[in-house]
Amino acid sequence: KAGVTQTPRYLIKTRGQQVTLSCSPISGHRSVSWYQQTPGQGLQFLFEYFSETQRNKGNFPGRFSGRQFSNSRSEMNVSTLELGDSALYLCASSLNQGVSEQYFGPGTRLTVT
């Protein structure tokens, strides 16, 4: 069974631009969560989607948004990029919402210049 895939793996953007990251969960998994990892703040929860609905949201500004499609694939969008948005963005899938074991993708390394 294929694992969680994330595209692209690396991105370089300029301040003020927007970016869209994609995540394909493990086949059969219906929940997708997104995390931001930085050296200073560690791993922080962004949001979780289940059945195309956002179920939980972390403490991030409205510039961070996401969506989930009927095939459970998810996208995350960051608008008006700031230097501080440079991070490794990780996606995790699980069978069901919340209590199931999470499986992580390799991440997308975003650099904002």
Task: Tell me if 65 contacts another protein by CB under 8 A.
Answer: no
DSSP of 39-51: TTTEEEEEEEEET
Q: Assess contact for 49 and 68: CB atoms under 8 A.
A: yes
For another protein, which is the closer residue by CB, 19 or 46? 46
Q: Assess contact for 85 and 28: CB atoms under 8 A.
A: no
For another protein, which is the closer residue by CB, 72 or 94? 94
Q: Assess contact for 4 and 23: CB atoms under 8 A.
A: yes
Among 76, 81, 92, 112, binds another protein (CB under 8 A): 92
**Encoding tokens for residue 29?**
């998994």
Smallest gap from residue 100 Cβ to another protein (A)? 8
Binding residue count for another protein, defined by CB under 8 A: 23
Number of H helices, E strands in the chain: 0, 11
Smallest gap from residue 51 Cβ to another protein (A)? 15
List contacts with another protein (CB under 8 A): 4, 33, 35, 42-45, 55-56, 58, 88, 90, 92, 98-99, 101-107, 109
